[in-house]
């Protein structure tokens, strides 16, 4: 960890990020107009290489609306073969760099007919169906406690700001529970029915481990899903990665606007 921090500090000097943003599939457009210091994951000791198409794999340190931020363009997924520890390592690094707020975005499948593809959903809570937890193992007391509370994980305060911004921008923002399975196979229709029955609105293969670690590190967390498709069994079209990335690009523009406005106000 100290080696990672030293290396990053050698690139960013005394820049101290307070906000982290993790961009999901196809959401790279958010960064297009931003200038700053870019560091590919492949150069950072302790970071695993990102292997998914549509994910760039670099950190961008920059100022957005006069907030100092670090943006993850592309994340690490459990299904790539990384441990949950490796998947969430960047979150711990961000904490050590001074980050106290994090925006987690993802592409997700809808579990409900009335949550249509192209919608943006504020995550109110999650269900961890990955079968493991990123905090398993020896605890680092400098980051957080052994048995962290997961109440109000997705900060009500930040969600209220997000909803205010959506209203002002005329965006029909939805809200719901995000469920995560490991992937990389998409869910079966029976699994999709089960998730809906258990109270989830959307499903994906990321975010939950990072959210758990961010909350453990006492960060304020804002989670936003871009609904890219109907999950299996809800439409005639089977979920596929091309559709996810393409819808991410289209609806991602609206999400980019929403995030920019939100960042001004948090
Ligand atoms: N299922 C799981 N993950 C996803 C989906 C889906 O339908 N769409 C985008 N990510």
Write out pLDDT tens, residues 181-206. 999 999 999 999 999 999 999 999 99
In angstroms, the CA 54 to CA 141 distance is 36
* 46-to-7, 82, 100, 113, 170 alpha-carbon distances in Å: 11, 12, 21, 41, 42
**Ligand 1 pocket check for 226: Cβ under 6 Å:** no
Are 20 and 91 contacting, i.e. CB atoms less than 8 angstroms apart?
Answer: yes
Out of 16-30, 132-146, 156-170, which region has the weakest mean confidence (pLDDT)?
16-30
**Ligand 1 pocket check for 121: Cβ under 6 Å:** no
In angstroms, the CA 76 to CA 51 distance is 8
In angstroms, the CA 223 to CA 189 distance is 25
72-85: average pLDDT: 94
Task: Specify the pLDDT at position 10.
Answer: 96
How many angstroms separate the alpha carbon of residue 227 from the centre of ligand 1? 8
Q: Is 205 a catalytic residue?
A: yes
In angstroms, the CA 246 to CA 242 distance is 6
How much of the chain, in percent, has pLDDT values that exceed 90? 85
Q: At what angle do helices 2-12 and 84-97 cross, to 10 degrees?
A: 50
Report helix, strand and coil shares of the chain as percent, to nearest 5: 35, 25, 40
Q: Is 80 a catalytic residue?
A: yes
**Ligand 1 pocket check for 76: Cβ under 6 Å:** no
Per-residue pLDDT of 222-231, as tens digits, reads: 999 999 999 9
> Can you say whether the dihedral through the CA atoms of 229, 231, 232, 234 is positive or negative?
negative
Instruction: Give the helix/strand (H/E) hosting 226.
Output: strand 220-230
In angstroms, the CA 126 to CA 129 distance is 9
Residue 41 phi, psi (nearest 5): -55, -35
Domain of 18, CATH number, reads 3.40.50.1580
pLDDT grade, residue 50 (50/70/90)? Answer: low
The per-residue pLDDT of the chain, averaged, comes to: 94
Residue 109 pairs in a beta bridge with 203, 229
Nearest atom in ligand 1 to the alpha carbon of residue 232 is 7
Which tokens is 83 given? 């441990």
How much of the chain, in percent, has pLDDT values that exceed 70? 97
**Ligand 1 pocket check for 107: Cβ under 6 Å:** yes
Q: For a pocket test of ligand 1, which of 109, 126, 127 has the largest count of ligand atoms closer than 8 A to its C-beta?
A: 109
Q: Is 77 a catalytic residue?
A: yes
The domain of 260 spans 2-265
Per-residue pLDDT of 231-264, as tens digits, reads: 999 998 888 888 888 888 788 889 999 999 999 9
In angstroms, the CA 99 to CA 19 distance is 5
Task: Specify the pLDDT at position 55.
Answer: 57
Q: At what angle do helices 84-97 and 208-216 cross, to 10 degrees?
A: 40
**Ligand 1 pocket check for 231: Cβ under 6 Å:** yes
- Please count the structural domains in the chain: 1
């Amino acid at each position: 960890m100290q080696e990672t921090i030293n290396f990053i500090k050698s690139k960013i000097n005394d820049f101290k990020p307070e906000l982290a943003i993790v961009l999901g599939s196809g959401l790279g457009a958010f960064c297009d107009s931003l200038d700053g210091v870019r560091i590919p994951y492949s150069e950072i000791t302790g970071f695993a290489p990102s292997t998914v198409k549509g994910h760039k794999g670099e950190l961008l340190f920059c100022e957005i609306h006069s907030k100092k931020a670090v943006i993850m363009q592309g994340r690490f997924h459990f299904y790539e073969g990384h441990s949950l520890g490796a998947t969430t390592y960047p979150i711990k690094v961000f904490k050590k760099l001074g980050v106290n707020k994090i925006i987690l975005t993802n592409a997700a499948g809808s579990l409900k007919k009335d949550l249509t593809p192209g919608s943006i959903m504020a995550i109110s809570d999650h269900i961890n169906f990955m079968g493991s937890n990123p905090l398993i193992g020896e605890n680092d007391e400098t980051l957080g406690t052994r048995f962290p509370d997961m109440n109000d994980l997705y900060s009500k305060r930040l969600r209220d700001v997000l909803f205010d911004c959506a209203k002002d921008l005329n965006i029909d923002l939805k809200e719901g529970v995000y469920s995560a399975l490991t992937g990389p196979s998409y869910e079966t229709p029976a699994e999709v029915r089960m998730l809906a029955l258990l109270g989830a609105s959307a499903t994906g293969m990321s975010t939950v481990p990072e959210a758990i670690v961010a909350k453990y590190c006492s960060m304020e967390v804002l989670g936003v899903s871009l609904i890219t498709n109907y999950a299996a069994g809800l439409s005639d079209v089977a979920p596929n990665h091309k559709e996810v990335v393409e819808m991410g690009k289209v609806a991602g523009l609206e999400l980019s606007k929403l995030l920019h406005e939100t960042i001004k106000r948090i």
